[in-house]
Amino acid sequence: MLSPSRHVIANAFTIDVEDYFQVSALAPYIPRDQWDETPCRVERNVDRILQLLDEAGAKATFFTLGWIAERYPQLVRRVADHGHEVASHGYQHERASELDRGAFLADIQLAKAVLEDVAGTAVNGYRAPSFSINGANDWAFDCLAEAGYRYSSSIYPIRHDHYGMPDAPRFPYQSRERLLEVPITTMRLLNRNWPAGGGGYFRLMPYAMSKWLIRRVNETDGQPAIFYFHPWELDPEQPRVPGIDAKTRFRHYVNLHRTEDRLRQLLRDFRWDRVDRVFLGETVTA
């Protein structure tokens, strides 16, 4: 049953489909050559998300690694069969800022081809791992347009120790002639952008704060929000990675046991749909 306070404006609900051991902050502890030997939990977690979305009658965009799609093709097909958008998160979670132009283009082309082959649908969207497009590598937008993507959601206009472009536009803009950039949602307060689009902040802050931030963007700015999280964030039973530093341990594990209930409430309190429908001007279905 939908909450009576659910807003008319449609926001974009997005999931970055990667497993717990593929997170950029854990890269020093779990190298890529160990991924195939590490127990995966992404399938059970994505299936749980699909169930939550079905219960709420909501649609979403799943920014998915090509690596995941190759190993779990039926999972990607289930996402598409449920009416959700399949989009690209690159092939194996390499930061755009750590690749040269040729390697980046090859990565996004490979991921797009794999995902389209598996899902049987066009892949129009891309999100850079760890929001790793910035002023130093904005040539990445040229590559995305060349590869045939219609939009990117790779910019987070905040200050953060691992990512962020605080001076970037807060709302969608044409980064290239044929490419729309859809930044993660922020709220402007005290001459600063504050994170309002999910991720670790959704687990760290009380739910009431997240709700207030998104409502303010909807009602004060008159703009749809774009929210994101990861499948591993609703999995408190995931294996603990030994030897990680205190900051990484706190950021990765804080409030995992609260995420699912908060997501369920978020889906009740707002209207949610796919990025391509919300921001590319396609018809939004109820």
At how many degrees (to 10) do helices 101-119 and 139-146 cross?
40
The span from the CA of 152 to the CA of 154, in Å, is: 6
Amino acid letter, 199: G
Amino acid letter, 253: Y
Q: Are 128 and 152 in contact (CB under 8 A)?
A: yes
Q: Which residues of 14-36 are buried (b: 16+ CB within 10 A; e: fewer)?
A: bbbbbbbbbbbbeeeebeeeebe
Q: Which residues of 170-194 are buried (b: 16+ CB within 10 A; e: fewer)?
A: bbbeebbeebbbbbbbbbeeeeebe
Name the region of 2 (left: φ>0; alpha: ψ -120 to 50; beta: rest): beta
Q: What are the pLDDT digits (tens) for 73-118? A: 999 999 999 999 999 999 999 999 999 999 999 999 999 999 999 9
Q: What are the pLDDT digits (tens) for 199-227? A: 998 999 999 999 999 999 999 999 999 99
All domains of the chain in start order, with CATH: 10-279 (3.20.20.370)
Q: Quick one: pLDDT at residue 34? A: 94
Q: Quick one: pLDDT at residue 286? A: 35
- pTM for the full model? 0.94
Q: What are the pLDDT digits (tens) for 223-249? A: 999 999 999 999 999 999 999 999 999
Query: Average pLDDT over the chain, rounded to whole?
Result: 93
The span from the CA of 42 to the CA of 51, in Å, is: 14
